[in-house]
Amino acid sequence: SRTTGKVIKCQAAVAWEPNVPMVIEEIEVAPPQKNEIRIKVIATGVCHSDLYHLFEGKHKDGFPAVLGHEGAGVVESVGPGVTEFKPGDKVIPLFVSQCKECRFCKSPKTNLCEKSWSTERYAQMSNTDTRFSCRGKPVLQFMGTSTFSEYTVLNQIAVAKIHDDAPLNRVCLLGCGISTGYGAAINTAKVEPGSVCAVFGMGAVGLAAVMGCKNAGASRIIAVDINEQKFEKAKVFGATDFVNPKAHKKPINEVLTDMTNGGVDYSLECVGNVAVMRSALESCVKGWGVSVLVGWTDLHDFSARPIQLIAGKTWKGSLFGGFKGKDSIPKLVLDYMAGRIKLEEFVTHTVSLEQINDAIQLMKTGGCIRTIVNVSK
């Protein structure tokens, strides 16, 4: 195309510093280098990790950055050495890469990748290397992706090619939140038919976890949230029981233990709060209960009494739902297109890139499940 090999000037939402609204700026996006792909971003979701970086993590070396990591787009051009992609391909950027060569990629036990941006820089949430600049300064690529920009550049190991007919303004949600919650239930917890589950937090990730429990054949799925307005939505995804911890005098783990004859078989924490993580563990039945940490946070230690684990419970964590991105995301897109998983039902708002701060505000106040940002035509 006419832009191949050239710097592209485009609109992006730049987070110049923590705790300050993003600014729509004209940025410069360099052409893809060896093994890289430049993508025109069509749509992106707004995920809690974007907020986390801006308002909670606030690492000074993680700015300025273009946030956004839950997107979908079309390949604009490819750099030298790229054979897997061509201009026009529909793709989803992956914040967890899959190089297929490192010891993690070669193991069926994990979806981590040694070549990911995250290997060294969890706190900053980006690599130092970037293809973005604005006003003569380098701008970091958040989680290696940066979907709050009309164009972005990624290494080919961090991109999944998807079906040509996939609606990008829906399947973008598979780039993080929905895959994360769904996979935490299916892959990490390995929920079994007939089991009893509890999911803590009814944001998009928690609702996706509910959907995973249902698809895995759970007989009871207890939705736990302090915002009872979320319970109608939880029902849509398959929740059978609803508990507001604030409506009870005793701790939530005791409430759940009473409801389930000793505790749930599986619990999933989808909030990113260490106190809730403990409650989720304590809500599991002894002997075989499994509790999975899904919510993202890196600010505090978690704690529990050793007897919880000695008595036979298992405490696990899940990143990106345990999905190896290149292998699994194209399949999840097909699952959506075949009606096996829901995406439409997560979307409560749609905005333009200019309204990105409104989208952030909506999420901060719990006023949305997922807001879709239409980034490009």
Question: From the first residue on, what is the mean pLDDT of each consecutive set of 10 residues in the chain (377 residues)?
Answer: 92 94 96 96 92 81 92 97 96 96 96 77 74 94 93 96 98 97 98 98 96 98 96 97 97 97 97 96 98 89 94 96 97 98 96 95 88 93
| Residue 186 one-letter amino acid | I
Phi, psi dihedral angles at 190 (to 5 degrees) = 55, 55
- Asked whether 130 and 139 are in contact (CB, 8 A), the reply is yes
Whether 172 is catalytic: no
Burial of 297 (0-12, 13-18, 19+ CB in 10 A): middle
Phi, psi dihedral angles at 199 (to 5 degrees) = -120, 125
- Residue of 10, 69, 116, 328 with catalytic role: 69
Distance CA 216, CA 189 (A): 10
Partners of 371 in the beta sheet?
349
- Residue of 10, 105, 172, 176 with catalytic role: 176
Q: How many H helices and E strands in the chain?
A: 11, 18
Whether 176 is catalytic: yes
Indicate the SS3 state at residue 236. Answer: helix
- Asked whether 22 and 35 are in contact (CB, 8 A), the reply is no
- Residue of 10, 48, 53, 172 with catalytic role: 53
Distance CA 318, CA 309 (A): 18
Distance CA 346, CA 179 (A): 12
- Tokens representing 370 are 């997922």
Task: Identify the sign of the CA torsion 51, 54, 57, 62.
Answer: positive
Partners of 370 in the beta sheet?
347
- Asked whether 202 and 268 are in contact (CB, 8 A), the reply is no
Which pLDDT score is estimated for 121? Answer: 57
Which pLDDT score is estimated for 117? Answer: 65
Task: Identify the residue whose tokens are 């993680």.
Answer: 62
Distance CA 285, CA 154 (A): 43
Q: Would you tell me how many other CB atoms lie within 10 Å of the CB of residue 258?
A: 12
Q: How far apart, in Å, do the first and last CA atoms of the chain sit?
A: 17
Distance CA 84, CA 78 (A): 10
Distance CA 282, CA 267 (A): 9
Which pLDDT score is estimated for 231? Answer: 95
Which pLDDT score is estimated for 47? Answer: 87
Whether 53 is catalytic: yes
- Tokens representing 295 are 């919510």
Angle at 324 between CA 172 and CA 377, to 5 degrees: 20
- Residue of 48, 49, 105, 146 with catalytic role: 49
